[in-house]
Structure 1
Amino acid sequence: MSTAPRRALLVIDVQNEYFTGNLPIEYPPVTTSLPNIVQAMRTAHAAGIPVVVVQHGGPATSPVFAQGSPGWQLREEIAALPRDHLVHKTKASVFAGTDLAQWLEQHAIDTLTIVGYMTHNCDAATVYEASHRGLKVEVLADATGALPYANDGGRASAEEIHRVFCTVFHSNFAAVCSTGQWEAAAAGGVALAPDNVYLSNRRARS
C-alpha cells in the first residue's frame, strides 16, 4: 500500500530584487509566476502542508540582495501569507549553512515542493542537493522563473534557460508540473514522479 507524501512547500527568494530591482525575472513572466506562488502557498496552508519561506541576503556592498535593502525585502504578497518557518541564506542551495535539513527531518518531510526564483540558480542548487539527500522533489514550472544570461560561456534567453533546466530536472531529479497539477496531487495525497534519463533521451532521438 502506497503512503501519501509528507510534503513541505519551499518558497525560494520571492524578493523585490526580482521584480523592481536589478534582476528582473523574464520567463515565465512574474505576472504568471507570482500568482501561482501565492496560490500554492494558500493551497498548502489549507491542506496542512508546511510552508517554508526563504530569503537570500548578500553583503551591504552587493549590487543585488544587499541585506536590509529594498531589493532584499520579501515581496509583500509573500510576506503577508502564513508560513511555518523562515530561512535566511547566503548561498544558492537552501541547505547550505541553514537549518533546513534539520527542520525537514524534525517534521518528517520526505517530499520538497519548490517554487520561487531562480529556476537555474537557487532552485537548481536546492533541487540537486535535496535529491542527493534522498528527498523526493517537485518543481512547479509556472511558479518559478529565469532571466537571460550572456557571458564567455555563451548566451541564452530566459525562456531557453527555464525550459532546459525544467527538462533536465524532470529527467532525473524532480517531478516538474504545473501549479494546478500539484494542487490536484496534494489534494489527493498522490505522489508525483520524474521521468528518467534513458527514456528522456530515447524520446529526443526518436
Structure 2
Amino acid sequence: MSANPRRALVVIDVQNEYVSGDLPIEFPPIETSLANVGRAMDAARAAGVPVVVVQNVAPADSPLFARGSVGAELHPVVASRERDHYVEKSLPSAFTGTDLKAWLAERGIDTLTVAGYMTHNCDASTVFEATHAGLAVEFLVDATGSVPYANEVGTASAEDIHRAFSVVMHTRFAAVVTTDAWLAAVKAGVPLARDNIYASNQRARANRVPA
C-alpha cells in the first residue's frame, strides 16, 4: 500500500440496464449509488485522479446489454461527465481482453478505486484481478450495488449478496469504504487500509453466541 497513492477511479458498467432496464440494482438503492458515482467522478476530476469508464456490451441478440440498445447505453450520470479513458468489455473483469492494465501501468497507477455495477460480478472480478496484478484496491461500498438471485442452489437478496461480497473483499482484496471516507482520503492524499482474513475470522469466532 503506497504512502502516497497514485489512484485511478474505475467506473464499471453504469448503464441504463441497471437503472431502467431488465436488471435493476436493488441494494444499495440505485438513487444512492448513482449519486455517489457522480460525486466520486467529480472529486476525482477536481483532485487530478484519472477516471476510467467501463461499458459492458453483449451481442445484438442478447437479453441484456445488447449492442445498440438503450439498456447498453451509459447512464447520463456517467455519460455527462468527463473521463480520461474508455474501456469496452464483454466479460466481467474490466481487465480481460482490454488495455486497462497497460493504461494504468503507463501512468504509474498503484491504487485502483472501483465504483459501479455489479458488486458481486464485474466489480468483484475486477477487484480480484487488480489485487493479483499487485495493485492496491479500494471499493466504494455505497457507489456500487447488487441484484437478487434465485436458482437451483438457493436464493439470496440483493442486500445479502452486496454485504457478503463487501465483507469478503475487505478481508483480503480491497479497502471497502464509503464514498465520504474515500473523498476524505483523496483530499488528504492518504491510503485506505483493508482488513485481513485472520483478524476477520478471529472477530467472527469471538462474537459467535454459544449454543
Runs of 4 or more above 3 Å deviation: none
Question: Per the alignment, in what secondary structure is the counterpart of residue 195 of structure 2?
Answer: coil
**2:35 matched to which residue of 1?**
35
Pairs within 5 Å for 1:134-153? 134-153=134-153
**1:98 matched to which residue of 2?**
98
Cα distance in 1, alignment partners of residues 142 and 7 from structure 2: 19
Deviation per CA, 1:152-177: give whole Å up to 9, x if none. 12110000000000000000000000
Question: Per the alignment, in what secondary structure is the counterpart of residue 70 of structure 1?
Answer: coil
**1:197 matched to which residue of 2?**
197
Whether 2:44 is the aligned partner of 1:49: answer no
Pairs within 5 Å for 1:121-160? 121-160=121-160
Pairs within 5 Å for 1:64-143? 64-143=64-143
**1:169 matched to which residue of 2?**
169
- What's the TM-score once normalised by structure 2's chain length? 0.96
Cα distance in 1, alignment partners of residues 68 and 102 from structure 2: 26
Cα distance in 2, alignment partners of residues 153 and 40 from structure 1: 36
Deviation per CA, 1:101-138: give whole Å up to 9, x if none. 00000110000000000000000000000000000000
Unaligned runs of 5+ in 2: 207-211
The total of aligned residue pairs comes to 205
**2:26 matched to which residue of 1?**
26
Unaligned runs of 5+ in 1: none
Percent of counterpart pairs with the same letter?
Answer: 60
What is the CA-CA distance between 1:3 and the residue it aligns to? Answer: 3.3
Letter in 1 for 2:124: A
Cα distance in 2, alignment partners of residues 13 and 95 from structure 1: 13
Letter in 2 for 1:203: R
Question: Per the alignment, in what secondary structure is the counterpart of residue 114 of structure 1?
Answer: strand
Question: Per the alignment, in what secondary structure is the counterpart of residue 71 of structure 1?
Answer: coil
Whether 2:7 is the aligned partner of 1:3: answer no
